[in-house]
Amino acid sequence: MAEKIVNPVVVIETSMGTIKAELWAEKAPLTVANFLSYVDKQFFDGLVFHRVIAGFMIQGGGMTPDMRQKAGGPPVKNEASADKKNARGTLSMARTSAIDSATSQFFINLVDNDFLNHTDNSSRGFGYCAFGKVTDGMDVVDNIGKVKTGDNAGHSDVPVTPVIINSIRRA
């Protein structure tokens, strides 16, 4: 009998509270390994949730409080599939219009975002890879999702008061 993979858990300490999330090592092994490589390098420390859209998602993992992009590593293969839904509370990889372009930026879904799910292998239908789920602190995620936003350094939906990712560590 094959051993069951124990999913890693991360603790996201933010300026607005603590979020715990279980990562789906079996469902999205490359994505989880990529995310944990950033965690282990303490890459996320001091970055911000730089894009917050109420009723949609909160995105972070790539920008400093002054809206400078921090260079990430090489892109990871997009492991989006029909069985990994962008449901409320799931962590998913942010990417450009190129399917396999995700590096360090991730988002947490505030609602079920079915339109982000994998439907086919086209660039439009490929979707965004959900790779974990919030297990504790969804109230913190919801509160971040309600912050006042505006334009900053050519970016829209930026929190007026920065929401800092103090650290992300393995639990």
Burial of 36: CB neighbours in 10 Å, binned 0-12, 13-18, 19+: middle
Q: Write the pLDDT tens digit of every residue in 12-69.
A: 999 999 999 999 999 999 999 999 999 999 999 999 999 999 999 999 999 999 999 9
Report field, pTM of the whole predicted structure over 0.85: yes
| CATH entry, 9-170, from 3.40.630.10, 3.30.70.1230, 2.40.100.10, 3.20.20.140 | 2.40.100.10
- What number of helices (H) and strands (E) belong to the chain? 2, 10
Find the distance separating the first CA and the last CA of the chain, reported in whole Å.
Answer: 27
Q: Write the pLDDT tens digit of every residue in 54-99.
A: 999 999 999 999 999 999 999 999 999 999 999 999 999 999 999 9
Q: What residues does each domain of the chain span?
A: 9-170
